[in-house]
Structure 1
Amino acid sequence: MITTNSGSDILGRYYTRSDISSFLVEQFDIISPVRLLDLGAGSGSLSGAAKTRWPDLKILTVDIDPKVDVPSVSTRKKSNDSSHEHFVIDALCENLSAVLDCTNAPIDVAVCNPPFITPKWRNEFRAILEDAGFLDCLPFPADVDAGLLFLAQNLRLMSENATLGIILPDSLITASKYRKFRATLLNAYVITKVIQLPRGSFHHTDALASIVILQKTKKHQDTIPIYCLTREKTLSAPILVDLLSASERLDYSFHFHRLHTSNATRSKTSMLYELAVEIKRGSITSSQIKTAGFPVLHITNMMEKDIGQWLDFSSFDAKLPDDGATIIKAQPGDILISRVGRNLDSKIVGVMRGTFAVSDCVYVIRCAPNIRESVLAQMASKEGRAWLSAHAYGVAAKQLAKKELITFPILLNQYKDV
């Protein structure tokens, strides 16, 4: 079974807009590459942009779909154009190097927009990950993102000192479970730049992703330049991030927020977990809500217009079943925040009245009476929402991990004593 994201086709492909394809190709410093590889080529947007920049380039395109329409390429294994060879084959097969004859005809540049899926595990994936040096840095190798597999496959096929431009989903860029992978990547290869793309960079989806340009070389680097491409298609100035911080996260928005939070401000703050604040995730799943038999507050009951307000939720009061002792409940004085959703930073409210069950898409924050109003106000403020957005992650709907939420900074001088 293949898990796909909404908005993609059956193979989990998000097709790159032509302007993004041209932009990616422009990021290469190579003057005259000889042979280019495009794994999972799809409609050929990336390799087509490369051919426009380097007309004499020899191109190899690979796609498992026999119906794929790569410009100037027939559905046969090889086209009549000697400068362009197309292979209808699984891009993640272990013997692809032999099929492409990479030994006798080295690949010195590659472009790739992998499908945003988690493919069913195959034993040959182990060899692909191991050859690229990633096998031992993954928490669950059998549940690995296709983007990481395509990255590893490209690195196996490229010659030494070759350059790859790849679009990686936000999960590989920001998720804590891939932190060790990012550390390995940064230490084994040279990352010349990371560019966070705006939502809407792919057809029919708002999937969040970044361009990563890297070289298959062992040269040492102290910092990674991280950029942001705006919706107006202008490139930001780079933020130079040290390797340790880059392994934590590689997204521009996170490091921009951290950079613009002054040391003076940080010295006056405490993190939520330092204030004896209790944070719990609701215990009832979305599917269980339908058969619960009692009211359950879900993120759909939290309106953006109510952000930062103390609300009356007494309509959700109800007698819980006898076995309901383990159900996570909110009570007056608690703060509720959405755990998931593209606009999770807009769903932050306080409970004025009501004791009720909450879904597992909601965090319940319980703090001392003398700071609860300040905590709510700071989380719902422009700065607080920016912090939450910068610390969330996800390709489509964003997620806020509890390990991130507990580090939310609270300004000590804004406590309200009662």
Structure 2
Amino acid sequence: MTITSPRQQARRTYSRFDSPGWVGKVLIDALGDASAGRVLDLGCGGGALSLAALSRWQVSELVTVDIDPIAGDEIRQALTPEQAATHRHLRADVMSFLSDGIDGLRSGSLDIVISNPPYRMARWTPGMAPILERAGLPACTTIYGDVPVDMIFVAQALHLVRAGGSLGLILPDSVISGVALAPFRRALLDKHRVARVIQLPRRAFKGTDAQAYVIVIQREGCSTSVQLDRILADGSWLEPVYVGLDQATRRMDHGYHRVGFPKVIAGQRALRELGVVATRGNLSSVQIASSQTPTFHTTDFPTFTGSTVTLPPLTLLRNADIWADAGDVLVARVDRRLERKVALVAGGTARLSDCVIRLRCPLGISERVVRGLASTQGQDQLRSAARGTGARHIAMGTLLDIVV
């Protein structure tokens, strides 16, 4: 029989991934010598961020909030008697509307809010709308009607921090670079000053390969530009990149902006400017398994990136599904190494999996497109544009921005 510890159970139930000590230090250092009178750790877990804050600042009060019943005891055990004297813990669900006055938590009552929200999606409910509205943020959901938990945490933090106060948050790439959440990023940039976004190495958190970021927000004025940083797996830092509001609205990850807008060589153009049309396949894995007609899935890409593939000849009448034909360029939409899966259809035809994007090119440029995507520059662009945990994915609009 396998015995599950309370911490392991918390990881499963609340999608909890405690911050490594070095990540907490990065977050606190990024906030700098902020005025740290009252500090709130929202979704505190085991208190790694709280301990990092106490090692840097003298605080008048530390408030921790978490829905996990063991979190409060974990933090209390980690504090010194002096630290415990200024600590209060509240068990509450951050995804619910936090009314002013609960255990002294009032709008604008905190100097600093720090948080590492759970890495999960939640089904959208009408009760989430007022949480976002009072923070001046739009109600954005994914195409499946889900909302990143992180988005609600950001709204709660903005509601509780005082004017001129600071937020230090650890967020996954759904909020930082997700296409559906671009309106959320724009509202955040227009209403508050997003000072820095630091891209952490993948697998910074044990048990997940999620791409995470440290974001520093100051509740004052609005953003004019954003500093993007990146830490590599060996602990080294890359040179920062500074982006304007439109670029930050699009995405706020260093890796994308460092490569996603390469220096354009004479004659190069974005795929959309070349008239390339992107279409996503529509067959599920179940439909592929039962299909009587030729199909093409991510497992059918040739080993060599950018090579040709010959599909079977059509022997039945074509239906209304998405088909690939000679001259089409196929790119994996979802895959761990999607940048490697690029192929030119030399002949034949097949119905496409929903994990494959078909690029239909104007006459005479298909080979240019496949060569460009398979080149070092193209591979860098695809790699930086892909996002997600585990099997990464790329949006069709982002794909069409790639320059060849």
- Same fold (TM > 0.5): yes
1:394 and 2:394 matched: no
Cα distance in structure 1, aligned partners of 2:118 and 2:201: 18
Cα distance in structure 1, aligned partners of 2:72 and 2:289: 44
Cα distance in structure 2, aligned partners of 1:123 and 1:136: 10
1:49 and 2:52 matched: yes
Aligned partner of 2:304: which letter?
D
- Report the CA distance shift for 1:121/1:325 in structure 2 as closer, same or farther (over 3 A): closer
- Report the CA distance shift for 1:104/1:356 in structure 2 as closer, same or farther (over 3 A): closer
Query: 1:362 aligned to 334, 356, 360, which one?
Result: 356
- Report the CA distance shift for 1:138/1:291 in structure 2 as closer, same or farther (over 3 A): closer
Give CA-to-partner distance per residue, 1:57-114, whole Å, 9 cap, x none: 532111112133653427xxxxx93322222221233235421313499311111111
120-129 or 199-208, which moves further after superposition?
A: 120-129
2:80 is matched with which residue? none
Cα distance in structure 2, aligned partners of 1:229 and 1:23: 10
Alignment of 1:335-354 (within 5 A): 335-354=329-348
- Report the CA distance shift for 1:141/1:61 in structure 2 as closer, same or farther (over 3 A): farther
Give yes or no for contact 1:51–1:57 (8 Å, CA) kept in 2. no
- Report the CA distance shift for 1:225/1:70 in structure 2 as closer, same or farther (over 3 A): farther
Give CA-to-partner distance per residue, 1:328-368, whole Å, 9 cap, x none: 22233322110112311111112234322220111122335
1:244 is matched with which residue? 246
Query: 1:307 aligned to 302, 305, 308, which one?
Result: 305
2:18 is matched with which residue? 15
Cα distance in structure 2, aligned partners of 1:309 and 1:339: 17
- Report the CA distance shift for 1:292/1:215 in structure 2 as closer, same or farther (over 3 A): same
**Equivalences, count:** 391
Alignment of 1:57-76 (within 5 A): 58-68=61-71, 71-73=74-76
SS at 1:213 equivalent: strand
Give yes or no for contact 1:137–1:184 (8 Å, CA) kept in 2. no
Aligned partner of 2:287: which letter?
Q
Q: What stretches of structure 1 of length at least 5 have no aligned partner?
A: 1-7, 75-79, 411-418
Give CA-to-partner distance per residue, 1:132-177, whole Å, 9 cap, x none: 0013676889632111100000111112211110112212111222
Cα distance in structure 1, aligned partners of 2:184 and 2:244: 16
Give CA-to-partner distance per residue, 1:160-211, whole Å, 9 cap, x none: 2111101122121112221121111111111111111121111111101211
Aligned partner of 2:387: which letter?
Y
Cα distance in structure 2, aligned partners of 1:88 and 1:202: 24
**How far apart are 1:278 and its partner, in Å?**
4.0
SS at 1:206 equivalent: coil
Give yes or no for contact 1:117–1:145 (8 Å, CA) kept in 2. yes
1:100 is matched with which residue? 103
Cα distance in structure 1, aligned partners of 2:60 and 2:145: 36
Cα distance in structure 1, aligned partners of 2:354 and 2:107: 55
Cα distance in structure 2, aligned partners of 1:366 and 1:137: 31
2:268 is matched with which residue? 269
SS at 1:201 equivalent: coil
1:201 and 2:200 matched: no
2:136 is matched with which residue? 133
Once the two structures are aligned, what percentage of the paired residues are identical? Answer: 31
88-97 or 42-51, which moves further after superposition?
A: 88-97
Give CA-to-partner distance per residue, 1:229-274, whole Å, 9 cap, x none: 1111222222111122211211111211245x225x2x52233234
> What TM-score results when the alignment is normalised by the length of structure 1?
0.85
Cα distance in structure 2, aligned partners of 1:354 and 1:70: 64
Cα distance in structure 1, aligned partners of 2:255 and 2:107: 43
> What TM-score results when the alignment is normalised by the length of structure 2?
0.88
Give CA-to-partner distance per residue, 1:302-337, whole Å, 9 cap, x none: 25x3211113444xx5645x5x51122223332211
Aligned partner of 1:256: which letter?
R
1:414 is matched with which residue? none
Give yes or no for contact 2:15–2:119 (8 Å, CA) kept in 1. yes
Give yes or no for contact 1:195–1:227 (8 Å, CA) kept in 2. yes
Cα root mean square deviation, aligned: 2.8
Give CA-to-partner distance per residue, 1:357-402, whole Å, 9 cap, x none: 2201111223356322222111111100111222333344322211
- Report the CA distance shift for 1:379/1:110 in structure 2 as closer, same or farther (over 3 A): same
- Report the CA distance shift for 1:296/1:184 in structure 2 as closer, same or farther (over 3 A): same
Q: What stretches of structure 2 of length at least 5 have no aligned partner?
A: 1-10, 78-82
- Report the CA distance shift for 1:271/1:262 in structure 2 as closer, same or farther (over 3 A): closer
Give yes or no for contact 1:33–1:109 (8 Å, CA) kept in 2. yes
1:217 and 2:211 matched: no
Aligned partner of 1:283: which letter?
N
Cα distance in structure 2, aligned partners of 1:361 and 1:136: 28
185-194 or 276-285, which moves further after superposition?
A: 276-285
SS at 1:164 equivalent: strand
1:409 is matched with which residue? 403
1:146 is matched with which residue? 149
Aligned partner of 2:194: which letter?
I
Give yes or no for contact 2:260–2:402 (8 Å, CA) kept in 1. no
2:281 is matched with which residue? 282
SS at 1:135 equivalent: coil
Aligned partner of 1:133: which letter?
G
Aligned partner of 1:336: which letter?
L
2:377 is matched with which residue? 383
Aligned partner of 2:150: which letter?
G
Cα distance in structure 1, aligned partners of 2:374 and 2:68: 47
- Report the CA distance shift for 1:153/1:291 in structure 2 as closer, same or farther (over 3 A): same
1:3 is matched with which residue? none
